[in-house]
Amino acid sequence: MNRKKLIEQIKLKKTFLCIGLDPDVEKIPQQFLDMEDPIFEFNISIIDATADHCVAYKPNVAFYEAYGLTGIESLEKTIRYIKANYPDHFVIADAKRGDIGNTSVMYAKASFNRLNADAVTVAPYMGSDSVKPFLGFEGKWAIVLGLTSNEGSRDFQQLDVNGEPLFIKVIRQCASWGTINDMMFVVGATKAEMIDQIRKVIPDHFLLVPGVGAQGGSLEEVCKHGINKDIGLLVNVSRNIIYAGQGEDFANKAAAEAKKLSEQMKPYIK
Amino acid sequence: MNRKKLIEQIKLKKTFLCIGLDPDVEKIPQQFLDMEDPIFEFNISIIDATADHCVAYKPNVAFYEAYGLTGIESLEKTIRYIKANYPDHFVIADAKRGDIGNTSVMYAKASFNRLNADAVTVAPYMGSDSVKPFLGFEGKWAIVLGLTSNEGSRDFQQLDVNGEPLFIKVIRQCASWGTINDMMFVVGATKAEMIDQIRKVIPDHFLLVPGVGAQGGSLEEVCKHGINKDIGLLVNVSRNIIYAGQGEDFANKAAAEAKKLSEQMKPYIK
């Protein structure tokens, strides 16, 4: 999905919510456990219940890989289901990939061709030839880790490098390899004050913002600091939506939580 | 496989060669293409031909993911084959994983439990809670990216951070989270002079060294700078071995190349 369509969808649906699909068989409701593919069936229920209240889904690839082949099958089926039933929703394979050039080419193939995701998250540590192979595909995106939402982001990302934090160097350098049409950045919601710093470097890029909810980030702060003339935000919430309820009504509760977040976003969408 | 056994195997086999299994259907010999699982069959041929001349195999996960479900199946079968037939060989899932804590836990499960690899490569950019979930498993290893062998390693890894390069900061910090029994570091062979710098910080850790061969690194330089009292090296070669020949005799040529490299290593093993 290209930038123009993504912006249109955000304005049409009046939300920039992305829902993280991190299914964990230890947390999904009991009734799914006897089914042939509990993860896929759980995902379908969540997707059907929430599609009106979000513009994107972000399956977290680790949660599928942890179940081996059957997990990967659930992941492929989930993306196929979204693309078949909700073709206007943006799909992010949250995989944090990145390797030497010939290997990143393979990861790009895996994400864009095999999984048919619109975007894949990319780890920048290995530099240019690890990031560039994900760029230049029509309507496909590399979402590069800039500043993440976890505690460990302090260890390296926030190190001072000649008067500015590493994450600023990473974002500026990576932005020079792509365009606002094929690159976004992960910017954690738990560091809202740093979003100002980042917006000075990349005023026009879309930011994928995790960390609202379970990790403690504030949606209001993110909007205040991160929004740009094209909205430019995808705010991801995973656990707080998909595990909003544990009983029979889990899907309704997920929908209610997604709707609540989208209502909070509406005033920011002109 | 724990450290003691790995060192024993190196001394017994008189080699610290690791063979990278990066199968690409565009490069494997013609005769495999009509088989039901070309990648797995190719791998078997390579493994059977080379097992006497190496201590480790390193399947590069991207090359399997690029073929979707069938690729992941080939990967699982390959590791099962090694474990069943060559149980004394060390297996590294080269996956460059790393994410927030609860997600890294899932990647650790995927690598150690589902794939049954001895080790997985880990990207450090997200810091402590992204690395620590891979540690503390008996006989299992996190191999953290320190200094990689590609051109892009200059972009961030070699940035100066308060008088020393970022990769030194990363290695020192990560080493403090693990031990020499559950952590190794990726250190590219193309930067042999920097191995001295790294050995000052981590004299005892094992280093996984890619970049000899196709990427231009020198085995002699790596040995001179990297070897420690327990050897402490796994030198990986992928393309130069597995694609040493294209015809019917590809397996013999792979074996010959592996043997040649191991012969060059022998003098360094006391």
Q: What is the pLDDT of residue A123?
A: 97
Average pLDDT of span B84-96: 98
Which residue do the tokens 């990986």 mark?
Answer: B236
Nearest to B107 among A62, A148, A152 (CB): A62
Q: Could B128 and A72 be called an inter-chain contact, meaning their C-beta atoms sit closer than 8 Å?
A: no
Query: How far lies A98's CA from each of A53, A122, A125, A209, B30, in Å?
Result: 32, 6, 8, 20, 30
Question: Which of B267, B219, B221, B224 minimizes the C-alpha distance to B240?
Answer: B219
In Å, what is the CA distance from A223 to each residue of A121, A167, B207?
A: 21, 20, 44
C-beta atoms surrounding B193 within 10 Å: 8
Query: Taking CA atoms, what residue in B is nearest to A24?
Result: B106
Dig out the tokens for B246 from the structure.
Answer: 């294209």
Question: Distance, in angstroms, between B216 CA and closest chain A CA?
Answer: 14
Give the per-residue pLDDT at B217: 82
Phi-psi region of B48 (alpha: psi -120 to 50; beta: other; left: phi over 0): alpha
pTM surpassing 0.80? yes
Asked if B103 lies within 8 A of A62 by C-beta distance, the reply is yes
Q: What pLDDT does A116 receive?
A: 96
> Mean pLDDT, 10 residues at a time, over chain A (270 residues)?
98 98 94 96 98 98 94 97 98 97 94 96 97 97 96 96 97 98 94 90 97 83 95 96 94 98 94
Q: Which residue of A has its CA nearest to B77?
A: A69
Inter-chain residue contact B166 with A153, CB threshold 8 Å: no
Report the distance separating Cα B234 and Cα B248, nearest Å. Answer: 29
Q: Do B148 and A100 touch (CB under 8 A)?
A: yes
pLDDT at position B111: 96
Contacts of A106 in chain B (CB under 8 A): 60, 62-63, 65-66
Instruction: Say whether A132 is catalytic.
Output: no
Rounded distance, CA B194 to CA B171, Å?
13
Residues A82 and A47: beta-carbon distance below 8 Å: yes
Which residues lie across from B53 on neighbouring strands?
Answer: none
pLDDT in tens, A103-137: 999 999 999 999 999 999 999 999 999 999 999 99
For A85, A153, A167, B168, B171, the CA distances from A157, given in Å and listed in that order, are: 39, 5, 5, 14, 14
Q: Give the pLDDT confidence score for residue A215 in this predicted structure.
A: 74
pLDDT at B270: 81
CB contact under 8 A, A69 and B72: yes
For residue A68, the tally of other CB atoms under 10 A from its CB is 17
Residue B214 has pLDDT above 80, yes or no: no
Residue A184: Cβ-neighbour burial (10 angstroms; 0-12, 13-18, 19+): buried
- Ordered by where they begin, the domains of chain B are 3-268 (3.20.20.70)
Q: What confidence category does residue B193 fall into, taking pLDDT thresholds of 50, 70 and 90?
A: confident
Catalytic residue among B11, B14, B83, B96: B96
- The whole-angstrom distance between B194's CA and the closest CA on chain A is 16
Q: Which of B128, B156, B166 sits opposite A152 (nearest CB)?
A: B128
pLDDT at A211: 85
Q: How far is the C-alpha of B24 from the C-alpha of B227, rounded, in Å? A: 32
Nearest residue in chain B measured CA to CA from A111: B66
**Mean predicted lDDT score pLDDT of chain B:** 96
Segment B167-180 shows an average pLDDT of 98
> Residue B147, Cβ neighbours under 10 Å: how many?
25
Please indicate whether, in this complex, the C-beta atoms of B68 and A127 are within 8 angstroms of each other: no
